[in-house]
Chains A and B, each alone.
Chain A
């Protein structure tokens, strides 16, 4: 059994028919449910729920206060390599893009770590492109060993690995895994991932579960909004989060809502997640999954991020650089994986969070190796 079997249950489900049949009454009931089910999530994602954003936001706020209090956890991303052998049509690091490729040496990684440390944030997200042959496990493992001397909590966002590899990374100091399915719709998945290891849909879909099996404390999943029908994608992603949450009770699950941004490939998305839908989906996730972490990155504009704070967000990136390295030294020809929209420094983000009446949490884990 894996989430694949859960997905298969919806193969012949008439999403459009269901979404269009949802009434205002259905939405109101789902907002107030103490233990909402899959149908409630569909109701909350439906067009009918667009009229209830304020009610959903209020409920989401209350649940978030109860489960997380007035705190926002911060993390910072560090790209250590942009080599990639996948052909994702929407990504700046895609193998076909003629961009300068770079892989940080261990010395460079240490220099970046020391720069990042100065921000005070203790949770690091380490990222690479997906190039197992160039920047594979043998490169990543010593990099993590080195970074774990500086950061008590490290998540990785890299090519999907086996449970055994994750277990080994855990021993080196990794406690979290971020992996996005990008798009759950198989047909679109095949279109936007034409070649490379990533074209294997199932291997990627079962990746979060392999991380949970390896004993990671935090698993962060997400759909990349813009590739497929946004409501369906949100629903599949929610069901995936619920599946993991139910099956791995000792693992914390978090969900991100990345929207396609400008990237080097100049990809034009077929679908769009509007700001209103973003808020609707975010609050729907909170009502459906009250204990799950909800994450918003610097892909989003500063004022939008600020306004999302009371709506259910529990984790934010800050001061992000999405090209390789860049915290200690940056070069003019550095190409980002995607453009960021919130360019504020960590200090500025922290003071914004405080101003909004929330406590920024820079450290939430102690390495207990």
Chain B
């Protein structure tokens, strides 16, 4: 099956995007990437230490993987824009995940500032993946602003609470003509599968993989769940119903 996801001119056959945060050891990152087959990984620019030689986190990411630098730590549009430019100047490519958070309790993204930053960075030729609070109106605005995808949160970052925002995410998937990547809050492979069954184009999972006892095994589990969810979506699942539906249609005799 030729099921390819295109974002910013790149093609992805694996729809699990991963992250580099919270691992007990950086050497687990390449192993996790290999086991999961993930083709895109996000890296907080603030943690990249270009002077660190072999210990530079980028050294642990194989060259064929697409880097998605993120603006973690940015409190407003201006900081996010500057972080993005630093990342590009440092040779980390044109992809950027905008993450603007002014509230550290639940780490909710600031949609207003994110929209502003999306507009500026898209105009500068960045491939912008904004991390946002799920909101259909904002999603339309992000399309107009030049985003390459929309990344609504499933629930609070690192919370492992799953798709608490399911209904809004469904609206975005149905109405927005851009790839939708569910980012944040996915704690179990079954929740990743659920997002994919809804029709999400990809999911981004970091904490649930990195803090597992076996991050490599968990990366693989998530990848399989994402594939299963995607296949189920493509195979068009039957609608949910409160009444039983006979597997042989009752009116099948009417030809």
Q: Please report A residues at the B interface, Cβ cutoff 8 Å.
A: 65-71, 120, 122, 217, 245, 249-252, 291, 354, 357-359, 361-366, 368
Contact = CB atoms under 8 A, between A and B. Distances in A.
Interface in B24-65: 24-26, 45-49, 51-52, 55
Contacts of A368: 74, 79, 82-83, 86
Given A120-B51, A249-B105, A357-B24, 11 more contacts: A69-B22, A70-B24, A120-B55, A250-B101, A250-B102, A357-B25, A361-B47, A364-B47, A365-B46, A368-B82, A368-B83
A67 B158 contact: yes
Nearest to A217: B73
B45 A366 contact: yes
Contact of B22 (A68, A217, A245, A252): A68
Interface in B67-124: 73-75, 79, 82-83, 86, 101-105
Contact of B211 (A70, A251, A361): A70
A214 to B, nearest CB: 13
B44 to A, nearest CB: 9
A368 B24 CA distance: 27
A69 B207 contact: yes
Nearest to B78: A368
A366 B23 contact: no
Contacts of A354: 25
B47 A363 contact: yes
A69 B210 contact: yes
Contact of B49 (A67, A122, A249): A122
A63 to B, nearest CB: 11
A364 B82 CA distance: 16
Given A65-B211, A120-B55, A364 B46 contact: yes
Contacts of B217: none
Contacts of B79: 368
B190 interface: no
What is the predominant secondary structure among interface residues of chain A facing chain B? loop
Interface in B108-148: none
Given A65-B211, A69-B207, A365-B73, A250 B22 contact: no
Contacts of B86: 366, 368
Listed from nearest, the 5 A-B pairs whose CB atoms lie closest are A69-B22, A70-B24, A363-B49, A249-B103, A366-B46
A247 B255 CA distance: 69
B160 interface: yes
Nearest to B212: A65
A69 B21 CA distance: 8
Contacts of A362: 49, 52, 55
A366 B73 contact: yes
A250 B49 contact: no
B104 A251 contact: yes
A250 B25 contact: no
A66 B25 contact: no
Interface in B161-205: none
Nearest to B73: A365
B108 to A, nearest CB: 9
B105 A120 contact: no
Contacts of A291: 104-105
26 contacts: A65-B22, A66-B158, A66-B160, A69-B21, A69-B22, A69-B23, A69-B211, A71-B21, A120-B49, A249-B102, A250-B75, A250-B102, A250-B103, A291-B105, A357-B25, A358-B24, A359-B26, A363-B48, A365-B46, A366-B45, A366-B46, A366-B48, A366-B73, A366-B83, A368-B79, A368-B83
A358 B23 CA distance: 8
Contacts of B207: 66, 69
A291 B156 CA distance: 13
A70 B23 contact: yes
A150 to B, nearest CB: 10
A36 B158 CA distance: 19
B64 to A, nearest CB: 24
A252 B210 CA distance: 22
A70 B46 contact: no
Given A65-B211, A291-B105, A366-B73, A359 B25 contact: yes
A66 B159 CA distance: 8
A71 B207 CA distance: 12
Contact of A120 (B21, B52, B73, B210): B52
A364 B21 CA distance: 11
Given A359-B23, A366-B46, A250 B211 contact: no
A366 B52 CA distance: 14
Contacts of B104: 245, 249-252, 291
B172 to A, nearest CB: 26
A66 B212 CA distance: 10
Contacts of B47: 361, 363-364
A291 B103 CA distance: 12
A69 B105 contact: no
A354 to B, nearest CB: 7
Contacts of A249: 102-105
A322 to B, nearest CB: 26
Contacts of B74: 368
Contacts of B103: 249-250
A361 B57 CA distance: 10
Interface centre among A71, A291, A362, A365 (most CB of B within 10 A): A71
